[in-house]
Amino acid sequence: MADIIDGVSHTFNEFLLIPRLTTKDCTHGNISLTTYLTKVSDKCDLDAMRLNIPMVSAAMQSVSDARMAIALAQEGGLSFIYCSQSIEEQCKMVRSVKLYKAGFVASDTTLSPKDTVATAMRLRAKTGHSTIAITENGCNNDILVGLVTSKDLRLSRIDPNDSLDKYMTPIDKLVVAYEGISLHEANDIIWRHKLNCLPIIDRNKRLKYLTFRKDYDASKKYTSQLVDAQKRLMVGAAINTWDYMDRVPALIDAGADILCVDSSDGYSEYQFDAIKMIKNKYGDKIKIGGGNIVYPDAFNYLVEAGADFVKVGIGGGSICITREQKGIGRGQASAIIDIARERDALYQRTGVYIPICADGGIVHDYHISLAIAMGADFVMLGRYFARFDESPGKKTHIGNQVVKEHWGEGTKRSANWSRYLDTGRPDIIFEEGVDSFVPYVGGLDENLQITLAKLKSAMISCGAKTINDFQKNALLTIVSPSSIVEGGAHDLVSRPMME
């Protein structure tokens, strides 16, 4: 007969946090939400990747495209761009995140010194930008020779047939900065020299970006941006276990910072082989996470394959019907707690710490606090991000409610991309997800700030200033069904609906 695990498997809703002593230094301003994203060893943590907030967006068509990835990396999190699309399309998304530089703008109004004022006027009208970068042959990424601004063309006697070299401020009279400078340093130069525009060039004097004074406020807003060594926003990419031989090198070439295998059941030889091969061949270039799993034996298996982090959760996702269809899964809270214990035991034995990601089933903001208190290092969310302006789903109405589309990766809709391509992807015989809607709630930034404030408040109540303190100090309790009722608003007469 089959083995049966002792005890029932629990979900987030069945837990609450018990407050620990809140010390006076435990304030919102003093809390760090930085957390490990990849493997770290006692001996050296220089190589480990970190997140600035413990949240990543799910590798789903309705969640993580380039727009979402940019918005989330600006806040300190990370998106895993979905792999249910062609390798070319996925690489294109990755590239556009890597090329995006908040505050560093690639000039779209570039001409050569021999172009005429009339051409400049036409281009300015087309792009809506008044600053014209002048390069030797009029292309971006060419040697910068000057700038023409509105001020230069405001002179009374301008002949539209004059060439721009007559009006431009030449390079030797411009303040410029070199590629690699941080936005903070660029803004300092702008203020010090009272500039409106600071061109950024490389060592060969080729134009890379323009930085504008007017963008300063926008860039100041994002103090926790997740960036790589070259100050580019970071982005992850999902892979599958059948075309990784081609997909992985292409994603590395496109600039992906980290990979994760996207699978509803990660305890498989397919995944072991994929992770092992990628670690052997590309381990010096990129890190990779494995999953999804719900039991410690599977955690050890993926760690042995070389996983840099492990994703936990089967059957708990908002659009997921894996449990109904296959009878496979486990209450997400029990899965996280058991695997976190195994992870901690591994660390005690070896000094190697493998971060775990709680993936799926996060409904309320406080579930994020619970997942971390239970031992997760970060959480992956689909439904949460699908509700925002930045998600790819279409906005529509159901009755009076504004909603956005949200569908699972295990639906035929998601699988459709490979129908006419020779990908070797097995056909879907039955669906493991649904095609549905989520309530639309507005922009990512405003909503995320509220979620993070709640997480910080929970940490303050538990006397924790860091994610690591929180995991170590938290005290959790299982609640009875009647205390769940007690926890909501109850025994009240509802206000009548106003006309």
The catalytic residue positions are: 320, 419
Q: What minimum distance in Å lies between the beta carbon of 53 and ligand IMP?
A: 16
Cβ proximity of 439 and 402 under 8 Å: yes
Q: Does 339 bind ligand IMP (CB under 6 A)?
A: no
**Mask 427-446, x = binds ligand IMP (CB under 6 A)?**
-----xx-------------
Closer to ligand IMP by Cβ: residue 101 or 383: 383
For residue 422, count CB atoms less than 10 angstroms from its CB and return exposed for 0-12, middle for 13-18, buried for 19 or more.
exposed
Closer to ligand IMP by Cβ: residue 65 or 432: 432
The dihedral formed by the CA atoms of 164, 166, 168 and 172, expressed in degrees to the nearest 10: 130
Q: Does 404 bind ligand IMP (CB under 6 A)?
A: no
Q: Does 411 bind ligand IMP (CB under 6 A)?
A: yes
Q: Does 409 bind ligand IMP (CB under 6 A)?
A: yes
Closer to ligand IMP by Cβ: residue 199 or 433: 433
How many residues bind ligand IMP, per CB under 6 A? 25
Q: Does 360 bind ligand IMP (CB under 6 A)?
A: yes
Closer to ligand IMP by Cβ: residue 26 or 78: 78
Residue 313 annotated as part of some ligand binding site = yes
Q: Which one of 21-29, 128-136, 341-349, 375-383 is the stretch in contact with ligand IMP (CB under 6 A)?
A: 375-383
Footprint (CB under 6 A) of ligand IMP, residues 250-269: 264
Footprint (CB under 6 A) of ligand IMP, residues 296-335: 313, 317-320, 322
CB atoms within 10 A of CB 485: 11
3-state DSSP assignment of residue 144: strand
Q: Does 356 bind ligand IMP (CB under 6 A)?
A: no
In the chain, the largest separation of any two C-alpha atoms, in whole Å, equals 95
Q: Say how far apart CA 37 and CA 190 lie, in whole Å.
A: 35
3-state DSSP assignment of residue 426: coil
Q: Which one of 19-27, 87-95, 136-144, 406-414 is the stretch in contact with ligand IMP (CB under 6 A)?
A: 406-414
Of 409, 417, 416, the closest CA to residue 435 belongs to 409
3-state DSSP assignment of residue 3: coil
Which helix (DSSP H) or strand (DSSP E) does residue 427 occupy?
none
CB atoms within 10 A of CB 128: 8
Of 388, 413, 373, the closest CA to residue 71 belongs to 388
Q: Does 358 bind ligand IMP (CB under 6 A)?
A: no
Closer to ligand IMP by Cβ: residue 226 or 371: 371
Residue 263 annotated as part of some ligand binding site = yes
Cβ proximity of 144 and 117 under 8 Å: no
Q: Which residue is nearest to ligand IMP (CB)?
A: 433
63, two tokens:
């969640």
Strands 207-212 and 197-201: antiparallel
Of 462, 275, 291, 496, the closest CA to residue 366 belongs to 462
Q: Does 77 bind ligand IMP (CB under 6 A)?
A: no
Of 381, 422, 428, 450, the closest CA to residue 68 belongs to 381
Cβ proximity of 62 and 406 under 8 Å: yes
Cα→Cα distances 485→15, 25, 371, 482, 489, Å: 13, 34, 21, 5, 8
Residue 84 annotated as part of some ligand binding site = no
Edge-to-edge strand ranges of the sheet holding 401-407: 395-398, 401-407, 435-439
Q: What minimum distance in Å lies between the beta carbon of 380 and ligand IMP?
A: 5
**105-80-365 Cα angle (round to 5):** 100
Q: What minimum distance in Å lies between the beta carbon of 163 and ligand IMP?
A: 56
Q: Does 361 bind ligand IMP (CB under 6 A)?
A: yes
**418-233-105 Cα angle (round to 5):** 105
Residue 320 annotated as part of some ligand binding site = yes
Residue 130 annotated as part of some ligand binding site = no
Q: Which one of 131-139, 195-203, 229-237, 408-416 is the stretch in contact with ligand IMP (CB under 6 A)?
A: 408-416
Q: What minimum distance in Å lies between the beta carbon of 385 and ligand IMP?
A: 8
Closer to ligand IMP by Cβ: residue 60 or 462: 60
Binder among 67, 124, 287, 383 for ligand IMP (CB under 6 A): 383
Closer to ligand IMP by Cβ: residue 13 or 219: 13
107, two tokens:
């000039």
Cβ proximity of 301 and 290 under 8 Å: no
122, two tokens:
């036409």
Q: What minimum distance in Å lies between the beta carbon of 359 and ligand IMP?
A: 5
Residue 354 annotated as part of some ligand binding site = no
Closer to ligand IMP by Cβ: residue 200 or 294: 294
Q: Does 359 bind ligand IMP (CB under 6 A)?
A: yes
- Which residues are near ligand IMP by CB under 6 A? 58, 60, 264, 292, 313, 317-320, 322, 359-362, 380-384, 408-411, 432-433
Question: Residue ranges for the binding site for K(+)?
Answer: 315, 317, 320
Question: Residue ranges for the binding site?
Answer: 262-264, 313-315, 317, 320
